Amino acid sequence: MKIIASILMIGLFLSACNSDTDKKTAAKENNVKTVLKPFSDSTKMDTFKVSLSGSKPKEMLLTFHIISFDGKEIYQKVLKATDLLDNYKETVDLSKEKSQRNFMADEFNFFLEDENFLEPAVTAEETPDQYTADKAFYEELKRSNLNGFKYRISKETKVYIAWSILEKKVKIYYKCC
């Protein structure tokens, strides 16, 4: 009976130690978000991944990746917290480090929201305007009917990206307000 009680005590001790490790791992993983959506193919799922690294705003980075359904990284964008914060300091009170960290946490949390996934990237009724980065690519997107994604790089600028079947890469098709 003492042996069974000892084994149970050791098991409880080990599980308590492991749960602390699991909590630390989960806390680190909270700075990474992943969403699966069709992007480079209309039926196969690509992985959209965003991470926030750094503990102080001066060293924080918001890193965005798209990994295709076949495991290849097809897009990466790194946004420095200092650049994002500079773009918003006139309209948002970012004078304190805590408010800067909170702002970056909000940017991280909203990055992969459903509203940023554009299905399709360009509809047949849409026409290019002065903010269209590449009119030929815009027309390609109308024909391919592939999805797009948008993210903001400042309070006044959003970048719209999509997969080019012809060039086999992610390209910007619209950049605007």
Model confidence, pTM: 0.81
Residue 164: other Cβ atoms inside 10 A: 19
Confidence at residue 73, expressed as pLDDT on a 0 to 100 scale = 98
Query: Domain span at residue 139?
Result: 32-176
Residue 7 counted as domain residue:
no
Q: Which of 85-94, 115-124, 154-163 has the lowest mean pLDDT?
A: 85-94
Q: What are phi and psi of 172, to 5 degrees?
A: -80, 130
On whether residue 70 sits in a domain, the answer given is yes
User: What is the number of structural domains in the chain?
Assistant: 1
Task: List pLDDT tens digits, range 99-134.
Answer: 999 999 999 999 999 999 999 999 999 999 999 999
User: Strand 32-38 vs strand 117-118: parallel, antiparallel, or unpaired?
Assistant: unpaired
DSSP 8-state symbol, 69? T
Domain assignment of residue 131, yes or no: yes
Residue 26 lies in a domain: no
